[in-house]
Structure 1
Amino acid sequence: MEPLTRPQAIIDFCLAPLNLTPGGEAEGEVRRRLEHVIKTLQAKAPRPIAVDFSTMPSQVINEAAHGYE
């Protein structure tokens, strides 16, 4: 996987597992907020920022431990 630099590509990757309704109100609001955060971070960074999700360690969530069985 190539490192992602475009805010929309980063957002698409992060939201994919949630299966939000495409074009729905919740998806639109989440995208708007995340895009604002990512663009703000990129604007304040001293050098361009890229996100490489292929090097990110996997996170295992134990849903039973949180009562979400």
Structure 2
Amino acid sequence: MEPLTRPQAIIDFCLAPLNLAPGAEGEGEVRRRLEHVIKTLQLKTAKPISVDFSTMPSQVINEAAHGYE
């Protein structure tokens, strides 16, 4: 996987597991907020931020430990 630098590409990758229907309630607001965060971070660092999700360690969530079963 190539590192992602475009805010929309990063957002699309992060939201893909949720299978949100385009135009679903809140979907547009989530995208707007995430894009704002990514662009603000890029401005603060004065360069595009790239994210390589292929090198991220997996997160294992124990739902039973949080009371979700």
Instruction: Give me the TM-score of the superposition, normalised by structure 2.
Output: 0.91
Where structure 2 has 5 or more consecutive residues not aligned to the other structure, the ranges are none
Provide the residue aligned with 2:40 in structure 1: 40
Count of matched residue positions in the alignment of Structure 1 and Structure 2: 69
2:32 is aligned with 1:23: no
The separation in 2 between residues aligned to 1:2 and 1:39, in whole angstroms, is 19
**RMSD, aligned α-carbons:** 1.1
2:3 is aligned with 1:3: yes
Instruction: Give me the TM-score of the superposition, normalised by structure 1.
Output: 0.91
Provide the residue aligned with 1:52 in structure 2: 52
1:25-51 alpha-carbon deviations (Å, 9 max, x no partner): 311010000000000101111433100
Q: Percent identity?
A: 88
Runs of 4+ with >6 A deviation: none
The separation in 1 between residues aligned to 2:55 and 2:4, in whole angstroms, is 12
